[in-house]
Amino acid sequence: MTIGWGDPVGLSIAALVVLAVIGAALGLLVWDARRRRVASVVLDVTGAVARVWVALVSLGAIAGVVALLVSPTTTITGLPVSVEWPLPLPCQEPGSDTFDEPTLYCAWIVTANADIGALSAGVKAILLVGSVCAWVVAAIPGVLVARLCRLAAAGRPFARDASRWLMISAVSVLAAGIASDVLLTAGRYLAALEALGDTAPSGLAMTLPVWPIGAALALAALAVIFRHGARIQRETDLLV
């Protein structure tokens, strides 16, 4: 969530209002859980928050897809550009590398936020698939937490479904996370080629994201732990 405000006092007030709304919503969920006398208020509230998160992500994804398909222009953040700094800089003058106060020495403009009209269908399709993958990654934690909370509330925290959902989430985060980064990077570069022509950057710089690999390994480790817990729970039930 991004809160923009020109006045610092107004920004502080807006942030406090947002925090108050979130606090009120959490208080309402706690009140509802206690009213229904659930076994665990924490599990119930956590699951409800996770479901709300999934709903918000789904609404955002639908709005983003509709905007990309019907809007006459396509909004692209991080469009690769190659533009000189609009003001003279010290690095352009020999012998100007001594400073008495914080000074902007050198700067480059390598990305920009842009609205592009008449973008080709192929580039739009790449951006669309990349955006959908990003929304999938954003929704996965909510789906997983909601499912695990439901199993725990039912008295089956180490059910076989728990480890299965964790492993599915690991594979989904790995695949969708890497696909999103690669497709969006390629889509931005192709959009720059179409919109800027000869002034577009000459090469495509693509870095394989590391975070999906780390997140997938963590989820896979949790899946193994939950599977081991399920085996111990079955052995304990047999002894009882």
Output the average pLDDT for the chain.
87
Q: What pLDDT does residue 145 have?
A: 95
Residue 33 lies inside a defined structural domain of this protein? no
The Cα–Cα gap between 223 and 221 comes to 5
Residue 215 lies inside a defined structural domain of this protein? yes
Residue with tokens 């509330």: 153
In the predicted structure, residue 58 carries a pLDDT above the cut 90: yes
Residue 81 lies inside a defined structural domain of this protein? yes
The Cα–Cα gap between 166 and 39 comes to 24
Say if residues 158 and 230 touch (Cβ distance below 8 Å): yes
Alpha-carbon Rg for the chain, nearest whole angstrom, is 24
Residue 29 lies inside a defined structural domain of this protein? no
At 81-128, the pLDDT tens digits run 888 888 888 887 776 777 778 888 888 888 889 999 989 999 999 999
Residue 24 lies inside a defined structural domain of this protein? no
Residue 3 lies inside a defined structural domain of this protein? no
Say if residues 82 and 132 touch (Cβ distance below 8 Å): no
Q: What pLDDT does residue 180 have?
A: 96
The Cα–Cα gap between 4 and 191 comes to 28
Q: What range does the domain containing 91 cover? A: 38-232
Say if residues 191 and 79 touch (Cβ distance below 8 Å): yes
Say if residues 53 and 141 touch (Cβ distance below 8 Å): yes
The length of the chain, given as a count of residues: 240
Number of domains in the chain: 1
Q: What pLDDT does residue 200 have?
A: 80
The Cα–Cα gap between 35 and 33 comes to 5
Residue 53 lies inside a defined structural domain of this protein? yes
Which pair of tokens denotes residue 198? 């000869």
Which pair of tokens denotes residue 113? 């936020």
Residue 174 lies inside a defined structural domain of this protein? yes
Output the CA–CA distances (angstroms, integers) from residue 99 to 91, 104, 107, 203, in the order listed.
12, 10, 16, 35
User: Could you write out the three-class secondary structure of 146-175?
Assistant: HHHHHHHHCCCCCCHHHHHHHHHHHHHHHH
The Cα–Cα gap between 39 and 15 comes to 34
* DSSP run (H or E) holding 81: strand 73-83
pLDDT band at 157 (very low <50, low <70, confident <90, very high): confident
Q: How far is CA 3 from the centre of its chain?
A: 17
pLDDT band at 55 (very low <50, low <70, confident <90, very high): very high
